[in-house]
């Protein structure tokens, strides 16, 4: 029988924007009295690195990204530059750095938690972090590159985690 209080998440994406959903859902899951495990695989491993301040969001190939200025006069802030700028423009150097900076500013303005704080909150709430051992080897990371308090394991361990729950998300 499965324990309805347990949930698992498979986190596969390593960009700044997609780093948020696993940590938001996991921390909220704990608040809702669930037991939560996250299995980080492929690019998702980035979310467990000691230094996540370098994660970036890219507008390249992302035509659905709204682009509004987080500062300046009201009329300027109301313009959505996303659909107005041809996507190939974003191949210019430092576009990711600039867009990531603007997204962080916008998030701060809206009272959204910092990524580092959300991750720390997950750890404080005892969300179980499992790093995919195979991907660590594949991408040439060392175990010292990652934060403390995580487990290194493989796909079979994910099934072991998932067996006792009934709420599983792939992100």
Partner 1 sequence: MANEILDASGLNCPLPILKTKKTLSKMDAGKILDVISTDSGSVKDIEAFCNQTGNKLISTVEESGKYIFTIEKV
Residues making contact with partner 1 (CB under 8 A): 24, 27-28, 30-33, 110-113, 121, 125
- Residue 118 C-beta: closest distance to partner 1, Å: 8
Angle subtended by helix axes 115-124 and 20-31, to nearest 10: 40
- Residue 129 C-beta: closest distance to partner 1, Å: 17
Residue matched to tokens 């970036």 = 56
- Residue 31 C-beta: closest distance to partner 1, Å: 4
**Class of residue 41 by CB neighbours under 10 A (exposed 0-12, middle 13-18, buried 19+):** buried
Query: CB-wise, 80 or 117, nearer to partner 1?
Result: 117
Query: CB-wise, 5 or 157, nearer to partner 1?
Result: 5
Query: CB-wise, 74 or 110, nearer to partner 1?
Result: 110
Residue matched to tokens 């313009």 = 79
**Cβ contact 2:164 at 8 Å:** yes
């Amino acid at each position: 029988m499965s324990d309805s209080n347990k949930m698992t998440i498979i986190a596969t994406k390593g960009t700044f924007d997609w780093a948020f959903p696993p940590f938001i859902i996991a921390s909220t899951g704990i608040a809702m009295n669930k037991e939560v495990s996250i299995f980080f695989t492929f690019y998702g491993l980035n979310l467990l690195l000691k230094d996540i301040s370098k994660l970036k969001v890219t507008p390249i190939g992302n035509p659905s990204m709204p682009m509004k200025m987080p500062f300046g006069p009201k009329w300027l802030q109301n313009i959505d530059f996303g659909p107005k700028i041809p996507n190939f423009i974003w191949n210019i150097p430092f576009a990711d750095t600039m867009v990531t900076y603007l997204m962080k500013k916008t998030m701060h303005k809206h009272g959204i938690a910092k990524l580092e704080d959300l991750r720390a909150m997950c750890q404080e709430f005892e969300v179980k972090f499992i790093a995919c051992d195979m991907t660590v080897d594949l991408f040439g990371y060392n175990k010292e590159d990652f934060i403390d308090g995580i487990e290194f394991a493989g796909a079979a361990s994910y099934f072991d985690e998932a067996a006792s729950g009934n709420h599983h998300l792939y992100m």
